[in-house]
Structure 1
Amino acid sequence: MSSDPWGRVDDAGTVYVRTADGEKVVGSWQAGSPDEALAYFKRKYDGLVVETDLLERRVKTTDLSAKDATTAIEHLREQVDAHHAVGDLEALRARLDTLAGKVETRREERKARKAQQSEEARHAKEELVAEAERLADSDQWRAAGERLRALVDTWKGLPRLDRKSDDELWHRFSHARSAFSKRRKAHFAQLDAQREEARQRKEKLVTEAEALSGSRDWGPTAAKYRDLMQDWKAAGRAQREHEDDLWARFRGAQDVFFQARAEVFAERDTEQRENLSRKEELAAEAEKLLPVTDLKAARGAFRGINERWDAIGHVPRDARPRVEGRMHAVERAIQEAEEAEWRRTNPEARARAAGLTGQLQDAVDKLHAQLEKARAAGNTAKAAKLERELEGRQALLDQAQKGLQEFGG
């Protein structure tokens, strides 16, 4: 018989292993010595230990699933429970129990983590749905469209929920995208219709503009072009492939007209500047008639200058008030001289002036006599009153005599 701390072999060749519950039969050995039998079953035990070591490391260092780990543990446990090895089976069983506890803990942790991830995914998808539903009413077509595409990519990267919840959220998400796409399609269809209408309106405006390009009716045609430009702005934009070409034709027609007008106006401006130079010379000639000393000669000379003035034609608008003002000043001076001459030679006015002067002279003479009499009588109060009255009448007389002198009287 051969023995070991963990097992023995009896004389019949039966191999036993020692356990807490007593000896258990491992097997029968007839092929060799008892020591060889113990060595063989101890090697089987060592094999179980190696497998247990490996499984512990896999559980610790890899992402081995709880299901696979449990299957492996149960497989080892069956071998330990079968008592087909010689060694500390209780210690090995304890290690497997401990490992099973760790696997179960990992299972619960993974379950909790998966539940948390599922809840986070639910929350994330609900936020995606809410944002998509807000974007469904947006008129920011480009930005909203790009954002919805980004939301789809985000959705694809999230874990799936339970089928019912995931399908319900996806239905809302998909419906929001479809609603936005439908609104966008309708918007651009309407926009295309508006642009086609704008193209047709602008075609007509271009035709009108081209028909006017040869006009020489400068003022009314320029005003018509301004109206056409307002109509162009109000028409809106045509399709991109038509807008630039229509604008080039419209602008080109205007350029033809305004270039021709500019050439005519440039020629007219040159003529008007020459007219201005000639009128400035005439104004200087007219100013030499001042001051008026010979009314008849001045009147005749000014009439001749004015006839030449009228024959010259227009001057630049901005210079017109200045040069015409010079001529008007000479004309007013001659008119004032004529009025003064008329007043001086008017018989009725002279007679009235002479009569007034005579009346004032009589009143002054009478007041002189009264003043002398009052002084002689020593009546100083009356004399003072008469002196003041005489002073006023004398001033009026002086003015009347001066006016009478203007009549040559």
Structure 2
Amino acid sequence: MEHPDHPLTEARRYGYVEDGGVWLRPTLGQPARRIGQVKDTDDDALRYFGQRYEAFRAKIDELLSRLQSADNQGSFLMKLLHLQEQTKQHDGLGDYETLHRRLKEAEEQLNVSVARNREKNLATKISLIQQAEEVRESVEWITASEQVKDLRQAWLKTGPVDKALTDELESRFHGAIQTFFDRRKAFQVDRKNLARRTLDRYRDLVNQAEALKNSDQFEATSRQLKQLQTAWRDINGNLPKKQAGELWTKFRAANNHFFERLKKHIETQRPADNRPGGVPSSAEESLARKRELAKRAEALIALPPNQGVNQAKALQTEWKQSGAVRGPESDQLWQRFMLACDKVFEMSALDYYLRKRQAEGGPALSPTERAQAATTALRKFIESDRQELAVLQDNLGKLNSSAANDQFRQLLQGKIRTFERKIQTKTELIALFQLPVGR
């Protein structure tokens, strides 16, 4: 007894031969249609088109299997739709209705999955937009730049959302990111311009000092050079280490050259020398005057910035004429006096910064808003000062102990003390702005 020919039996269920042609029975709402012709025998032709169906079914089986294990199932939608259309046009003999139903069920499941994923993607993108809109106003440039980088990567990895929302979401996210980069660029341009102006001011002071170093007008030139030294301290700019060192070396050399000449001049005049009238005749008188100067300097913070700066400079001149006194109290008075003057100068710089921002289109600020803006700006300045201080401390730690480096070591130590005082000054100003009753 022969085994039944299963492929041929299946082919006959779905097709037949007529007038030398192979026909597919009515299926999927379509009438019977001719799909080929008989080349050898009727049975061979039916088997051949049955095998074509099996190959087509295997292709669909593979696609549905890949769909189940895929991460991005949405990419299979068009393939499913294309195969559904092919079930109505494919030339083979088999159960196309079952294939079409399987593809349709897979499409419906896929649509549900895609809709669910798009809801998740929407929630993710809204969260990323909120984070981007928070970071766009940050002044913590280094950490904020890293956050922006991470946000952009996360955005690229997040799948699509409903097409009707895509443009609006893209616009909000990329708009926030662009705002941050525009602000960072403007800050960098301002910083570069400030560095250039700072360099020009230092160079100008060097040129003035070198022009005065050989002067024989000792009294007038001494006052001028001390004024230049005060102006140098007032700049308090941040330049690259090598450049700052070269300028300071030239400036100090010009000053040292003149004051060495002044010292020799005084020695030649010593028999007729008298103490300057403005200098107190005793250490106690000098200390008393320094106490008074420190007290007056601490009161300047209550004045408008421009008045405070002018009076602080005048007090610095008086301090230089108050006489030299050694001892712990003198050192403490010097620290009080310098910190008070520094507060005045920092307050003036802060006032200029806030007025500049308002002139560039910022809204008028209430006293409370101005205090908040001042606190934010001071914290930004402190961050920059700390970065500069860390670089200076690192450079000092790496400096060889050779005597040849003594001059540069002193320069670094002076810079470090300056930045430590700047940070202390700004920190105390922040506390001042946070008092219940403002200035």
**TM-score, structure 2 normalization:** 0.42
**TM-score, structure 1 normalization:** 0.44
